Amino acid sequence: MMASRNLGAAIAACGLMIVLPGFLSPFWLTQIAIQSLCLGMVAASLSFLMRYSGQLSLAQTSVAGVASYALAYLGPNDVNLGPGWSMVAAVPAAFVISILYSGAVGTLAARTRGVNCLMITLAIGMSVFYLARQNYSIFGGFRGISIGHPQLLGLAFNDGIPFYYLCLAIVIVSCVLVAYLEETPLGLALRAVGSSPERTEADGYSVGVLKVVAAMLAGALASCGGILLLWYHARISPGAIGVSSIIGTLIVAVLGGIQRPINAFLGAFLYVLLDNYAIDLAGSERFQTLVGSIFLAVVVLSPNGVAGLLVWPRDGTKALARVKHCRCAARKERIGGPSSIGQ
């Protein structure tokens, strides 16, 4: 029953997203909707890793950045860098490069969990940022690489309704694939790694390999986001992979609720709304303070993010029932005295 309800909700959400451009002003379509979809993809890859390998990786922004940089460098760009391949060749090549990079990061982080993983992936992500900023021959240095208006078959597509549908199609296909993965033996094994690597290891699975596989799958999601973001902004610069972007991706994932990749799109929507309306809201330029405070509030108040707040009543009653149950058990144990300890 749960599955059919989820399916119904998913189809309703897809339907809503498909008819959405009919109701949106151009500003909302480009500034809010498209940007939410792109940022959501990158943040979804972070939640994906959290769910399927139990690692909080802060390198996902740099994976998206590597995809953007690879495409900008290999494909047509405005700054005469790279071989200038056509889009048809450059897009798959960019994918391969960023997924390999993601796998390499996953290999380095595979032996770690929790804060150690967070520390290593943050160090890797920040190093890529400093490299991109200081290197001119590949990364275009401080100014990055500008690609002009990307064209396919002579048509610019990084604008308006066609680009929205491109992003939406990629998001929907990714979500369907992730939902499908959940049902496969590989998906189950990855879920097991995410919830308890030790027990999965004891069951004979090779946790290290599974973590690298999860990293590469997450890398594919982040690369989609990175490529879409490159087309959206028509350029990539180090700022897009700097610390504030790394933290931004984390905030998007945590705002939405980090336990499910799809929540990231809710988080991205809220983040983009804030980004656009914070100046009216805070009456100043202190956007980062506002975002940081909201992030802090979410971390302090609701570990499950905004999506956690939405489902709170149901989980709350469950948790309450569990507390009652524990209390009853404890009372019984006290009454039973020392004899019941062995049970």
Partner 1 sequence: MNQLALVFLNGITLASLYFLVATGFSLTFGLMRTVNLAHGSFYLLGGYVGYTVSEQTGSWVLGALGGGAAAALGSLLLHQLLLARYDGQTLRQALASIAVSTIVADQMLAAWGAETYQIEPPPQLDWTIVLSPIGGYSFLRVSTLLLAVVAAILLWLLLVRTRLGMMIRAGVDDSSIVRALGVPILSVFAFAAALAGAMAGIAGVVCGSVLSLAPGDDTHFLLMSLIVVIIGGVGRLSGAAIGALLVGLLEQFGLAYLPTYSVVLTFALMVAVLAIRPDGIRGSRGVA
Determine contact, residues 281/290, Cβ cutoff 8 Å.
Answer: yes
Q: Report d(CA 83, CA 86) in Å as an integer.
A: 9
Residue 286, interface with partner 1 (CB under 8 A)?
yes
Tokens 């009216």, residue located: 280
Q: Which of residues 253-272 bind partner 1 (CB under 8 A)?
A: 254
Choice from 206, 244, 317, 340 touching partner 1 (CB under 8 A): 244
**What is the gyration radius of the CA atoms in the chain, in angstroms?**
22
CB of 290 to partner 1, least distance (A): 9
Q: State the helix-helix crossing angle for 243-256 and 263-282, rounded to 10 degrees.
A: 110
Q: Which helix (H) or strand (E) holds 235?
A: strand 235-236
Choice from 288, 316, 317, 322 touching partner 1 (CB under 8 A): 288
Tokens 């595979």, residue located: 110
Choice from 86, 293, 317, 340 touching partner 1 (CB under 8 A): 293
162 vs 208, beta carbon nearer partner 1? 208
Which amino acid makes up residue 210?
Answer: L
Of the candidates 17, 44, 49, the residue with the CA atom closest to the CA atom of residue 33: 17
108 vs 161, beta carbon nearer partner 1? 108
**CA 177 to mean position of chain CA atoms:** 15
Of the candidates 191, 189, 215, 214, the residue with the CA atom closest to the CA atom of residue 203: 189
CB of 318 to partner 1, least distance (A): 21
CB of 292 to partner 1, least distance (A): 3
State the number of binding residues for partner 1 (CB under 8 A).
38
CB of 255 to partner 1, least distance (A): 11
14 vs 243, beta carbon nearer partner 1? 243
- Token pair in block for residue 25: 């002003």
The answer to whether the Cα torsion of 141, 144, 147, 148 is positive or negative is negative
CB of 127 to partner 1, least distance (A): 5
CB of 189 to partner 1, least distance (A): 23
Candidates 39-47, 160-168, 246-254, 261-269; binding stretch for partner 1 (CB under 8 A) = 246-254
Residue 291, interface with partner 1 (CB under 8 A)?
yes
Helix locations, the chain, DSSP H = 2-19, 26-27, 35-53, 60-74, 87-109, 114-134, 160-183, 185-195, 197-202, 207-233, 243-256, 263-282, 287-301, 305-310, 312-336
Q: Which of residues 46-65 bind partner 1 (CB under 8 A)?
A: 56
Spatial CB neighbours of 122, under 8 Å, sequence gap ≥ 6: 58, 59, 246
Q: Report d(CA 90, CA 76) in Å as an integer.
A: 9
Q: Compose the 224-243 pattern: x for residues touching partner 1 by CB under 8 A, - for all others.
A: ------------------xx
CB of 86 to partner 1, least distance (A): 28
CB of 15 to partner 1, least distance (A): 35
Q: Which of residues 98-157 bind partner 1 (CB under 8 A)?
A: 108, 111-112, 114-115, 118-120, 122-124, 126-127, 130-131, 134-137
289 vs 317, beta carbon nearer partner 1? 289
CB of 286 to partner 1, least distance (A): 6
Binding residues for partner 1, per CB under 8 A?
56, 108, 111-112, 114-115, 118-120, 122-124, 126-127, 130-131, 134-137, 242-244, 247, 250, 254, 286-289, 291-293, 295-296, 299-300, 303
